[in-house]
């Protein structure tokens, strides 16, 4: 962890004369420059959008690192299952423990009747988001690339590698895939008419009471439709926002004090925080998807 923190420190110091001349121009320094002078980095570590690579518009630096993450997950899975044993041990036991824990967590939400259909996608989303979040903490990701010198130091405008989940296109793509499958599962469980009655029809009442309450339930159904539409916006923005902010937070913490050693200690603490946040965000994304499935596929008591 200390090595990761030290890897973030290479861009936090400026040469004395360049920094001193800038401070003198803005009226913040006079007299001879010291051997080294500290200037905080005031620019964002990452731009809001991913950058094309090699002049190919559709190939971005986040896509390249996404491929690296996908290959890493495939390699880990292959390593854990290359010598399958009836009584697992070692890495196979560790990997199966994670998968079984995720399986039980999802089944407790979507139910036994949906788990076999939904588990492959939901578990894949969880593992990919988790590994992508943690892989984003590798020194150099988002901080090594092409850029230009500024008054506050060298700003990397086009990093070679960009954290996948700090690109709203990636989080949006995962959300689109999920909601396409969500629509398929809801169609299979309810059908179009079942979805309409589940959303708009009165529940728990019959006869004249149901007729009298029909406008209220219809209005509630309209709110539910708006809620479903907003899920497709909030789900990717939440994941993107947390990762984008976390990446820029690490860049800022690497230059928060004039002392290199103090910055390393602070970065170590924030690395542990980002490890926890990376796990929490993967869980939140998976659990929210599970809840969205359960809300429209759960069977009424006495149903099949």
Confidence bin at 159 (pLDDT 50/70/90):
confident
- Are 20 and 29 within 8 A, CB to CB? yes
Q: Is the pLDDT of residue 170 over 50?
A: yes
pLDDT bin (cut points 50, 70, 90) of residue 36 is very low
- CB 165 within 8 Å of CB 171: yes
Mean pLDDT, residues 178-198: 90
At 236 the pLDDT is: 93
What is the distance between the terminal CA atoms of the chain, rounded to a whole angstrom?
52
Dump pLDDT digits (tens) for 58-78: 888 888 889 999 999 999 988
Provide the H-helix boundaries in the chain: 2-7, 16-25, 61-81, 90-110, 112-135, 168-200, 207-253, 260-297
Segment 110-134 shows an average pLDDT of 94
Q: Which of 130, 67, 66, 133 is nearest to 98 (CA)?
A: 130
| Cα angle 208-212-214, degrees, rounded to a multiple of 5 | 115
pTM, two decimal places: 0.77
Cα of 217 vs its chain's centroid, Å: 36
Summarize pLDDT for 241-250 with one digit per residue, the tens: 998 888 878 7
Computed over every residue of the chain, the mean pLDDT equals 78
Q: Which residue has the higher pLDDT, 31 or 280?
A: 280
The ranges assigned to domains in the chain are 2-40+53-297
pLDDT band at 45 (very low <50, low <70, confident <90, very high): low
The torsion angles phi and psi of 287, rounded to 5 degrees, stand at -70, -40
In this prediction, residue 237 carries a pLDDT of 93
Half-sphere exposure for 274 (CA within 13 Å, toward CB)? 28
C-alpha–C-alpha distance, residues 297 and 294, integer Å: 5
Per residue in 68-117, pLDDT (tens digit) is 999 999 999 888 888 888 877 788 888 899 999 999 999 999 999 999 99
| pLDDT given for residue 143 in this prediction | 66
**Three-state DSSP state, 255:** coil
- For residues 174 and 125, the answer to whether their CB atoms sit within 8 Å is yes
At residue 147, the pLDDT reads 67
What is residue 18's predicted lDDT score, i.e. its pLDDT? 40
């Amino acid at each position: 962890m200390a090595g990761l923190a030290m890897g973030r420190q290479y861009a936090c110091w400026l040469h004395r004369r360049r920094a001193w001349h800038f401070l003198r121009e803005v009226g913040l320094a006079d007299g001879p420059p010291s051997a080294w002078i500290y200037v905080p980095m005031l620019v964002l570590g990452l731009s809001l959008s991913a950058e094309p690579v090699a002049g190919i518009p559709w190939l971005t630096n986040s896509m390249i690192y996404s491929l690296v993450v996908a290959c890493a997950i495939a390699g880990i899975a292959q390593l854990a299952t290359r010598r399958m044993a009836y009584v697992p041990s070692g890495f196979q036991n560790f990997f199966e423990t994670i998968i079984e824990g995720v399986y039980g967590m999802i089944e407790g939400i979507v139910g036994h009747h949906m788990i076999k259909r939904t588990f492959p996608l939901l578990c894949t989303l969880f593992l990919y988001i988790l590994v992508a979040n943690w892989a984003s903490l590798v020194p150099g990701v988002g901080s090594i690339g092409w850029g230009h010198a500024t008054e506050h130091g060298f700003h990397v405008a086009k990093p070679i590698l960009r954290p996948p989940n700090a690109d709203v296109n990636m989080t949006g793509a995962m959300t689109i895939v999920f909601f396409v499958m969500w629509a398929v599962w809801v169609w299979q469980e309810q059908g179009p008419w079942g979805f309409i009655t589940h959303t708009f029809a009165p529940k728990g009442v019959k006869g004249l009471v149901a007729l009298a309450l029909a406008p209220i339930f219809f209005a509630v159904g309209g709110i539910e439709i708006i809620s479903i539409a907003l899920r497709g916006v909030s789900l990717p923005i939440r994941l993107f926002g947390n990762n984008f902010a976390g990446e820029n937070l690490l860049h800022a913490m690497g230059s928060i004090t004039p002392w290199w050693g103090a910055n390393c200690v602070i970065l170590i603490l924030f690395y542990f925080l980002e490890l926890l946040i990376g796990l929490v965000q993967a869980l939140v994304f998976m659990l929210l998807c599970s809840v969205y499935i359960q809300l429209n596929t759960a069977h009424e008591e006495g149903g099949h």
